[in-house]
Chain A
Amino acid sequence: MTTLASARSGRLDLLDPREVASLGGIEVVARGVVEGFLAGLHRSPFRGFSVEFAEHRPYQPGDEPRYLDWKVLGKRDRLYVKQYEEETNLRATVVLDVSASMGWVGDAERTLTKFDYAARLAAAIALILVRQRDATGLIAYDETIRALVPPRARAGQWPLLVRTLGELTPAGRTAAERALPRVIELLKRRGMVILISDLLVDRERSLQAMRYLRHRGHQVSVYHVMDPAEQELQGPAEARYVDPETGDSVVASAADLRRAYRATVSGVVAAWRRACRTSGISYHHILTDMPFGTALRRSADARARAG
């Protein structure tokens, strides 16, 4: 009932990601999610910090009320916000992990693959940024750079990003620690870096790369995407679990290790969160059964707390 009511009210951001994805492609989903998401916000989650006025644009839900042009409102009875020059200079780059592990899904009937979820999340974030006229780009990687869309603030940027995302398929191994230096080379101007990955990588080496980005003045946000089945071990009494990326395997009994495994995953998440916090990196743990709006809201809240 809640789902149906949410669908009728247009709040796709609150629906089950699997159901939302069934409504259309990445573009449709991202638009629906963002519309719903912004309707529930009082201020834009991704804003610039310039003071030089550039132009007006229609008010959108989520925009800061302080940027409303009260004179225009008084004269024409319409809501417009003022845009500033530097705001359009925010360079945001979504860095998306497209390794083979991202193509895994624990229960295809109930959840999206990590990649499908991450692609729609990336499109939604990009749409929010583009609507703020921020220069938004995309880097997809596994061991190497698989796709690169340089950050632009032009009108056709978001369709390009969506098209690029639609052409990607997860494959290959993840070696973020090797791909990230290349990403660093591509991000010469400081800006915002949004890393969306399942983080099945060497933590220290990956963190070293992210710290370097942070050192270069980037704002870094990490979206740790995880399938619910990776958090809660399921499976037969005894099975050989094989990593589709590395081919590593281990024989284990889900019943024997379920409890300890849950503790291990909690420890891993806590370790990532702690390490990111100490490095000034924003960390978000996202499960693929989580509504997109919830994922976006978490990042928005985190940014709001960060000021």
Chain B
Amino acid sequence: MVFLSPLALFGLGAAVVPPLLHFFQRREPPVVAFPAVRYLQETKRDAQRTVQLQHLLLMLLRILAVVLIVLAAARPVVTGGVGAHHEPTALVIVFDHSLSSGAVQAGTRVLDDLAARARETLREAQDGDAVWLIGADGIARRGTPADLLVEVSRLAPDARRLDLDAAVRQGARLIATSGYARGEIHVLSDLQRSALQSTGNSQQSTTGERCAPPGVDCRLSAVDSSLGGLPILVYHPRGDPPPNRGAVLARPTPSLWLPGGGSVRVGVGGGPAGAAARTTVTLAIDARSLARALVTGGGEVELNAPALAPGWHAGTVSLDADELRADDRRAFAVRVVVPAAVSFGSAAEIGSFAQEALGVLAAAGRVRLGAGDVRIGTSPAGGGAVVVVPPADPSVFGATNRALEAAGVPWRFGARREREDTLDAPAVPELAGVRVRLRWQLEPVGGAERPGDVLARAGGDAWLVRSGRVVLLGSRLVPDETTLPLTGAFLPFVGALVNRIARGESGVIEAMPGDPVALGDRVTAIASADSVMSVRPGAVVTAPAAPGVYALRAGGDTIGMLVVGADPRESDLARAADAEVAALWRGARVSVTDNANAYTARRFRGAGRSELTGPLLLVALVVLIAEAFLAAGGRLKRT
């Protein structure tokens, strides 16, 4: 039993009023002259016990009446009962079976708790109700309660993150267009604080094809609904969420490995609750455990991998088991290539520092000197990848630009600019902090840059550009134009330039489940360990729901890898406060509870349960009638 207005229970204190009146309100009664007092004395003597019992019974009846009325005011509700019907209602159940719902809390999986609530609600739904179920994929499925019961039983923790705010607003729009006078949204979730942070135009916007009823656009991007006055009933499991650590980052460094090996940067998240304890991180590549390290929650560690054979390699980083197993493992992929064969015209053309650097790298086995994979020069002519540096002679720029145009490169060298700026190159960590004194502005032909072409900028101008297999540098690699040759990052940069940048990076695409992924023009299929899905070249596809590594194929060749990993925010199980929830859906009538009975009592606006207010008032009325009859000395019976 729960009380919809528990504050009214304070009124139970009024139950002491009848005894207080009975015992303390003893005022002197009026005096009446009556000669037959002797008869009255005799009567009272004989009837004393009966009268006392009658008074006691009266007092008990009055106390009982007060208690019954107060209990009725508190609106007690019990589950089940007679007459559990409600008016036809448009009901949207937002069922958050995202990755975090797999956590075990107090011996029970969160998902099982939420599913139990969903099943109760669906069993209570009536034929006249319109019911939708919105899962972690953000798709609203309409069906009969029986159909949706089956659907709920099939649900498992999903690596996709559910944007609760977007789902609720989608539900509100469905209710608004349903034609039903009454509507409710039930949010069954572990109520992660991160789940309330809207992602805006999220991945679900492309997945509206399964939305029902037909003709209704359920994509979250189409949501524009008011929550004014709408009942939103939020249920989350009772108790604090368990501490959790999750592998939130597994990134090979560098992204393209040479046969000598590389390292993998591993991040451990999980929010403040899991920050204190240390956990073991294990690195495995090609199903072989290669390295281990201890790391505290919230920290990062770099694990070195031994030499690997050239080719594609899939690996995982895994943590010690905890209450949420699904985020203890994260996949990654790395491509191991042989050192690039580099050729260049002369030291005057590329600068002596670059020439020396290539010599050192060659001596270290990081590059091979000679024609083959990459050529460095002032012209894009020739096969293979080309790194074009600005010519030392300004009169040559016209010929260089014409050659670039002839090679189909949509970039050209522009005006000379002499200003010292720091490079901004997130994709090329080797350039961090490098300053540029003199540069030739790299200008896109036609005025519009292609997304992804610019790898580094100086003062807002493009400085390092890649277009196809041509890479353009805005400055010559000499100390007069940039500090780069004088820094320790020069050798790694030159190595990365010829091995990774010029040869087209690693070919690894990272995505979260359900994210839209733009595949390259050459990709014709996506393959997992047990399936192959053909795709149209250049298509944008939805990343698979299951985390893992998928091969991107062009014909029979693997030309890249798609690494799907869960949203790192799913590892942070910290729960949002009730006030945060209410503030998020301001205007709606938000009710948050962790009590299954309270949730049961409040759904369908409390109409489907047996509220005891009426029966209690009826009993109170009967008690008051009995009290009146008894107080009147049974006059009714005598008459």
Most chain B Cβ neighbours within 10 Å, of A198, A233, A261: A261
Measured CB to CB, the closest approach of chain B to A233, in angstroms, equals: 7
* A235 within 8 Å of B (CB atoms): yes
* A303 within 8 Å of B (CB atoms): no
Please indicate the chain B residues that have their CB under 8 angstroms from the CB of A233 in the complex.
40
* B54 within 8 Å of A (CB atoms): yes
User: How far is it, in angstroms, between the C-alpha of A245 and the C-alpha of B35 when the chains are bound?
Assistant: 7
B33 near A240 with CB under 8 A, answer no
- Known pairs A200-B36, A241-B37, A248-B41; A260 contacts B50 (CB<8 A): yes
User: How far is it, in angstroms, between the C-alpha of A256 and the C-alpha of B48 when the chains are bound?
Assistant: 10
Measured CB to CB, the closest approach of chain B to A205, in angstroms, equals: 14
* B460 within 8 Å of A (CB atoms): no
User: How far is it, in angstroms, between the C-alpha of A244 and the C-alpha of B50 when the chains are bound?
Assistant: 28
Which of B37, B46, B632 makes the CB contact (< 8 A) with A243? B37
Which of A100, A243, A244, A255 makes the CB contact (< 8 A) with B38? A243
B39 near A239 with CB under 8 A, answer no
A252 near B33 with CB under 8 A, answer no
Please indicate the chain B residues that have their CB under 8 angstroms from the CB of A261 in the complex.
39-40, 43
- Known pairs A230-B35, A236-B30; A252 contacts B40 (CB<8 A): yes
Q: Mark B497-539, 1 if CB is under 8 A from A, else 0.
A: 0000000000000000000000000000000000000000000
- The main secondary structure of chain B at its interface with chain A is helix
Q: Mark A255-294, 1 if CB is under 8 A from B, else 0.
A: 1111111011100100000000000000000000000000
Interface size class of B (residues with CB under 8 A): 20 to 34
Chain A: CB-nearest residue to B55: A256
A252 near B36 with CB under 8 A, answer no
Which of B40, B632, B634, B635 makes the CB contact (< 8 A) with A241? B40
* A107 within 8 Å of B (CB atoms): no
Tell me the residues in window 580-613 of chain B with beta carbons closer than 8 Å to chain A beta carbons.
none
* A238 within 8 Å of B (CB atoms): yes
Please indicate the chain A residues that have their CB under 8 angstroms from the CB of B632 in the complex.
255
User: How far is it, in angstroms, between the C-alpha of A82 and the C-alpha of B280 when the chains are bound?
Assistant: 143
Chain B: CB-nearest residue to A102: B35
* A132 within 8 Å of B (CB atoms): no
Chain B: CB-nearest residue to A230: B36
B39 near A230 with CB under 8 A, answer yes
- The main secondary structure of chain A at its interface with chain B is mixed
* A5 within 8 Å of B (CB atoms): no
User: How far is it, in angstroms, between the C-alpha of A249 and the C-alpha of B44 when the chains are bound?
Assistant: 12
Interface size on A, residues (CB 8 A): 35
* B299 within 8 Å of A (CB atoms): no
* B51 within 8 Å of A (CB atoms): yes
User: How far is it, in angstroms, between the C-alpha of A233 and the C-alpha of B37 when the chains are bound?
Assistant: 11
User: How far is it, in angstroms, between the C-alpha of A100 and the C-alpha of B50 when the chains are bound?
Assistant: 33
Tell me the residues in window 8-54 of chain B with beta carbons closer than 8 Å to chain A beta carbons.
28-44, 46-47, 50-51, 54
A260 near B29 with CB under 8 A, answer no
Measured CB to CB, the closest approach of chain A to B40, in angstroms, equals: 5
B29 near A251 with CB under 8 A, answer yes
Most chain A Cβ neighbours within 10 Å, of B32, B35, B42: B35
* A101 within 8 Å of B (CB atoms): yes
Please indicate the chain A residues that have their CB under 8 angstroms from the CB of B38 in the complex.
200, 243, 248
- Known pairs A259-B633, A260-B50; A242 contacts B33 (CB<8 A): yes
* B154 within 8 Å of A (CB atoms): no
Please indicate the chain A residues that have their CB under 8 angstroms from the CB of B634 in the complex.
259
Q: Mark A100-112, 1 if CB is under 8 A from B, else 0.
A: 1100100000000
Chain B: CB-nearest residue to A261: B43
B39 near A248 with CB under 8 A, answer no
* B84 within 8 Å of A (CB atoms): no
User: How far is it, in angstroms, between the C-alpha of A240 and the C-alpha of B37 when the chains are bound?
Assistant: 10
* A246 within 8 Å of B (CB atoms): yes
Please indicate the chain A residues that have their CB under 8 angstroms from the CB of B28 in the complex.
240
User: How far is it, in angstroms, between the C-alpha of A230 and the C-alpha of B33 when the chains are bound?
Assistant: 11
* B638 within 8 Å of A (CB atoms): yes
B633 near A255 with CB under 8 A, answer yes
Chain B: CB-nearest residue to A233: B40
- Known pairs A243-B37, A250-B37, A252-B40; A264 contacts B31 (CB<8 A): no
* B631 within 8 Å of A (CB atoms): yes
Which of A100, A241, A259, A268 makes the CB contact (< 8 A) with B32? A241
Please indicate the chain B residues that have their CB under 8 angstroms from the CB of A258 in the complex.
633
Which of B32, B37, B40, B631 makes the CB contact (< 8 A) with A257? B40
Chain A: CB-nearest residue to B47: A260
User: How far is it, in angstroms, between the C-alpha of A255 and the C-alpha of B55 when the chains are bound?
Assistant: 12
A198 near B633 with CB under 8 A, answer no
Please indicate the chain B residues that have their CB under 8 angstroms from the CB of A256 in the complex.
47, 51, 54-55, 633
User: How far is it, in angstroms, between the C-alpha of A268 and the C-alpha of B37 when the chains are bound?
Assistant: 13
Tell me the residues in window 180-223 of chain A with beta carbons closer than 8 Å to chain B beta carbons.
198, 200
User: How far is it, in angstroms, between the C-alpha of A233 and the C-alpha of B632 when the chains are bound?
Assistant: 14
A250 near B39 with CB under 8 A, answer no
- Known pairs A240-B28, A256-B633; A264 contacts B37 (CB<8 A): no
Chain A: CB-nearest residue to B633: A255
Please indicate the chain B residues that have their CB under 8 angstroms from the CB of A198 in the complex.
35
Most chain A Cβ neighbours within 10 Å, of B36, B50, B632, B633: B36
Please indicate the chain B residues that have their CB under 8 angstroms from the CB of A257 in the complex.
40, 43-44, 47, 51
User: How far is it, in angstroms, between the C-alpha of A265 and the C-alpha of B43 when the chains are bound?
Assistant: 9
- Known pairs A251-B29, A256-B51, A260-B50; A243 contacts B34 (CB<8 A): yes
A238 near B29 with CB under 8 A, answer yes
Chain B: CB-nearest residue to A256: B51
Q: Mark B58-95, 1 if CB is under 8 A from A, else 0.
A: 00000000000000000000000000000000000000
Chain A: CB-nearest residue to B38: A200
User: How far is it, in angstroms, between the C-alpha of A198 and the C-alpha of B259 when the chains are bound?
Assistant: 133
User: How far is it, in angstroms, between the C-alpha of A187 and the C-alpha of B41 when the chains are bound?
Assistant: 36
Measured CB to CB, the closest approach of chain A to B62, in angstroms, equals: 15
Please indicate the chain A residues that have their CB under 8 angstroms from the CB of B44 in the complex.
250, 252, 257
Chain A: CB-nearest residue to B27: A238
Measured CB to CB, the closest approach of chain A to B304, in angstroms, equals: 98
A248 near B37 with CB under 8 A, answer yes
Please indicate the chain A residues that have their CB under 8 angstroms from the CB of B41 in the complex.
248, 250
Please indicate the chain B residues that have their CB under 8 angstroms from the CB of A248 in the complex.
37-38, 41
B36 near A239 with CB under 8 A, answer no
User: How far is it, in angstroms, between the C-alpha of A73 and the C-alpha of B42 when the chains are bound?
Assistant: 61
B631 near A255 with CB under 8 A, answer yes
Please indicate the chain A residues that have their CB under 8 angstroms from the CB of B39 in the complex.
230, 261, 264-265, 268
Measured CB to CB, the closest approach of chain B to A135, in angstroms, equals: 33
- Known pairs A248-B38, A256-B54; A104 contacts B33 (CB<8 A): yes
Please indicate the chain B residues that have their CB under 8 angstroms from the CB of A100 in the complex.
35
User: How far is it, in angstroms, between the C-alpha of A250 and the C-alpha of B40 when the chains are bound?
Assistant: 8
Which of B29, B47, B631, B633 makes the CB contact (< 8 A) with A239? B29
Q: Mark A2-33, 1 if CB is under 8 A from B, else 0.
A: 00000000000000000000000000000000
Question: Nearest 7 CB-CB pairs, A to B?
Answer: A101-B35, A243-B37, A260-B47, A241-B34, A264-B43, A255-B633, A238-B29
Residues of A whose CB lies within 8 Å of any CB of B are 100-101, 104, 198, 200, 230, 233, 235-236, 238-246, 248-253, 255-261, 263-265, 268
Q: Can you list 11 A-B contacts with CB-CB less than 8 angstroms, sorted by A residue number?
A: A230-B35, A230-B39, A236-B32, A242-B33, A243-B34, A250-B40, A251-B29, A256-B47, A257-B44, A257-B47, A261-B39
